[in-house]
């Protein structure tokens, strides 16, 4: 029987609120057994970029990562946010180690090619697309086996010396898939909602279980709000590649969501 590993992603408004983040990290520190944390960057990179005179640019809600912006997100995600999280976890007796995808060649990626959007060719800049098959799990297994709790910033690398800005949900999925042959993996996406909602205006309309058929039905009925779709797509990518279960739920329910009596939305094959 494989040991259980919890791959936990935290993002959204929780990262932006010091109090909410500290409360979440206290819960994360209480999770027993093997665990990995992946964090997003929240709005902190935008705020610091503004202070330094580097304006954020978006197309269809996705950040353009030009030369100045990759420097900002590397400093903020890989430095400020990551190390504050690591320091807080150390204070909570969790032996955390801060990482990016470049460290020990954990997550190699490819610079995103030009994309055709509304008839125009768009260059997203230093943005990384990850291929699950290129992930090397052994170095991470060594760290976990030595008692460390890895904390990943949403950064990868292209093998040519460039850091790449990469979606944190995708990094979480990639790590979960890459480790699923070694552990019984539960991938947990934590944010400020209680789960996948049937009615976006009703926080109590949580859909408890979703499989592929239910997902297609919800899409056909236009019942899923746009922001949740990438999480569900990443969840099914992970399930199809060997991850046992994916849970999408509220950050405050993390400890419960590492047990059988889960809150939120459980996604299974």
Q: Which residue has the higher pLDDT, 46 or 231?
A: 46
Residues 31-49 have a mean pLDDT of 92
Task: List, as residue ranges, the binding site.
Answer: 41-42, 63, 165
> Which residues span the domain enclosing 46?
4-267
**Considering the chain, what is the average pLDDT of its residues?**
92
Task: List, as residue ranges, the binding site for substrate.
Answer: 41-42, 63, 165
Q: Which two tokens stand for residue 89?
A: 């976890």
Asked whether the predicted pLDDT for residue 111 surpasses 90, the reply is: yes
**In the prediction, which pLDDT does 5 show?**
96
Q: Which two tokens stand for residue 27?
A: 């819960």
Asked whether the predicted pLDDT for residue 252 surpasses 90, the reply is: yes
CA dihedral 210, 212, 217, 222 (to 10 degrees): 80
- State the Cα–Cα distance between residues 10 and 13, nearest whole angstrom: 9
Domain count, the chain: 1
**In the prediction, which pLDDT does 90 show?**
98
Q: Give the CATH number, domain containing residue 37.
A: 3.40.1160.10
pLDDT in tens, 159-210: 999 999 999 999 999 999 999 999 999 999 998 889 998 888 888 889 999 9
> How crowded is the C-beta side of 2, counted as CA atoms within 13 Å?
14
């Amino acid at each position: 029987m494989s040991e259980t590993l919890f791959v936990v992603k935290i993002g959204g408004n929780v990262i932006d609120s010091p109090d909410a983040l500290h409360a979440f990290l206290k819960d994360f520190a209480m999770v027993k057994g093997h665990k990995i944390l992946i964090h997003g960057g929240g709005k902190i990179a935008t705020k610091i970029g503004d202070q330094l005179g580097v304006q954020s640019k978006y197309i269809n809600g996705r950040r353009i990562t030009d030369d100045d912006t990759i420097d900002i997100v590397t400093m903020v995600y890989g430095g400020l946010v990551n190390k504050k999280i690591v320091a807080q976890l150390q204070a909570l007796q969790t032996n955390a180690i801060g990482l990016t995808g470049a460290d020990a060649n954990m997550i190699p990626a490819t610079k995103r090619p030009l994309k055709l959007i509304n008839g125009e060719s768009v260059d997203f800049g230093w943005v990384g697309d990850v291929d699950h098959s290129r992930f090397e799990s052994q170095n991470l297994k060594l760290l976990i086996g030595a008692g460390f709790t890895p904390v990943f910033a949403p950064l990868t690398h292209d093998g040519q010396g460039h850091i790449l800005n990469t979606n944190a949900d995708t990094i979480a999925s990639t790590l979960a898939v890459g480790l699923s042959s070694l552990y019984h993996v539960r991938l947990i996406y934590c944010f400020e909602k209680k789960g996948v909602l049937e009615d976006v205006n009703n926080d109590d309309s949580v859909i408890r279980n979703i499989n592929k058929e239910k997902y297609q039905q919800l899409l056909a009925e236009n019942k899923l709000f746009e922001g949740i779709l990438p999480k569900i797509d990443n969840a099914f990518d992970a399930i199809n590649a060997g991850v046992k279960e994916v849970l999408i739920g509220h950050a405050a329910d993390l400890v419960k969501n590492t047990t059988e009596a889960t809150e939120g939305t459980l996604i299974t094959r």
